[in-house]
Amino acid sequence: MAKFDPKKELPSYRARKGVFDLVEVPPLRYLMIDGTGDPNTSAEYRDALATLFPVAYRLKFLSKREHDRDYVVPPLEALWDAADKTAFTTARDKSRWTWTAMILVPDGIDDELVSRAKQQSAEVPLFDRLRVETLDEGLCVQTLHIGSYDDEGPVLARMHDEFIPSHGLRMTGTHHEIYLSDARRVEPAKLRTILRQPVARV
């Protein structure tokens, strides 16, 4: 049986470069850790990733061994926020950002299995801050950005200031990024990132 891969099988994990698409995102469960500050320099952000990935892989192995259900570990994702939204677009002041780093928990994985995966990873640095939560984003605008994270600003400015208001929408939730590329192995110019913004109709 083929492994479940959210990047291939969930419509909300697909986006087009240069196009802003409206998508309906269903409620999804995630492993989550909250933090603040510049992800490039924050030890807290590094510790969040060093917590999420071991638990996510432990969960995958438990699912395969005990339920005969294998899957590709989903990509890293993050919610980003700031009191002043220009911190994402024109200012790009990462020191003012708050974030939630997260990895999807596939459907069919119950809370008991998640709890066991966590308990078997008690050595991870932010063990006590790891939680599982359902995110219900609903209607969203998203696009595919190819390139450095630092080059996202103009794309987000067009999304926030042009596409969303011109289509009778308003921003409602938190800016969401899905990292389809591994930044440790892919050069910045080729990074593929889904940029998502929850919205509501005015």
202 residues of the chain, pLDDT tens digit each = 568 999 999 999 999 999 999 999 999 999 999 999 999 899 999 999 999 999 999 999 999 999 999 999 999 999 999 877 777 777 777 888 899 999 999 998 999 999 999 999 999 999 999 999 999 999 999 999 999 999 999 999 999 999 999 999 999 999 999 999 998 899 999 999 999 999 999 9
pLDDT of res. 1 = 55
Task: Using alpha carbons, list the distances in angstroms from residue 11 to 14, 23, 92, 148.
Answer: 6, 8, 29, 24
pTM of the prediction?
Answer: 0.94
Residues 6+ apart with CB under 8 A from 60: 70, 71, 73
Sign of CA dihedral 164, 32, 131, 56: positive
